[in-house]
Chains A and B, each alone.
Chain A
């Protein structure tokens, strides 16, 4: 059973370009979370999706950022018109059930390190 797969592992974009980060959750997991991590910082929650639905996007900037989790294929975090401040590690996590009612272990992918030059 493969773990959470993220690609690319490293991504370099020039200011103004678009960045697309992909995440395939563990088999059987329909709950996907995206987190952002700046150097020596914790993990900041961005968005929570459950197959085709955005459940909570309260941590995601209103502009330039969007996320989807289509019926078929990986979850995508899309950043339009990237700026230097978007440089960070972006982690995707999945779980078999949601974090409500007792919670559950979240399985993290290896992350995408985005560098904006």
Chain B
């Protein structure tokens, strides 16, 4: 079945270092979405990418959608302690009835 994979599963950085998480889908996606879940919290939408090769920025966060629309990445520049949490990518299933989530990358930041 359709799978969405993310690496790494965990990443620990010192405050100020950069962080990147990678997302790969077993199928071509019409769009990819990124969510952040703080510890004990619920997933919160960050962004949606639709076009092949699309790059979007939100302050220190840069999101990229691959040319083949099967992979994506999230890069955080100069991490802060507020960036702590789990970052999930998600894409629609083939039927377009649900989002299929990766297992997420959990980021911890030490000051």
Interface string of B33-61 (1 = CB under 8 A from A): 10100000111110010100000000000
> For residues 53 through 111 of chain B, which have their beta carbon under 8 Å from a beta carbon of chain A?
88, 90-93, 95-104, 106
* Contacts A48-B98, A98-B97 given; does A103 touch B42 at CB 8 Å: no
Q: How close is A94's CB to chain B, nearest CB, in angstroms?
A: 12
Question: A40 — which chain B residues lie within 8 A by C-beta?
Answer: 106
Check B97–A100 contact: CB distance below 8 A. yes
Interface string of A11-34 (1 = CB under 8 A from B): 000000000000000000000010
Check B98–A102 contact: CB distance below 8 A. no
* Contacts A103-B92, A108-B42, A108-B43 given; does A42 touch B103 at CB 8 Å: yes
Check A99–B43 contact: CB distance below 8 A. no
Question: B43 — which chain A residues lie within 8 A by C-beta?
Answer: 43, 91, 93, 106, 108
Interface residues on A, range: 20 to 34
* Contacts A108-B43, A109-B42 given; does A103 touch B98 at CB 8 Å: no
Check A98–B96 contact: CB distance below 8 A. yes
Question: B27 — which chain A residues lie within 8 A by C-beta?
Answer: none
Q: How close is A85's CB to chain B, nearest CB, in angstroms?
A: 19
Question: B96 — which chain A residues lie within 8 A by C-beta?
Answer: 98-101, 103
Measured CB to CB, the nearest residue on chain A to B32 is: A103
Interchain residue pairs with CB less than 8 A apart (9): A33-B98, A41-B103, A99-B97, A100-B97, A103-B48, A103-B50, A103-B96, A108-B35, A110-B42
List 9 tightest A-B contacts by C-beta distance, closest first.
A100-B96, A56-B97, A42-B103, A103-B31, A43-B101, A99-B92, A45-B98, A105-B45, A108-B42
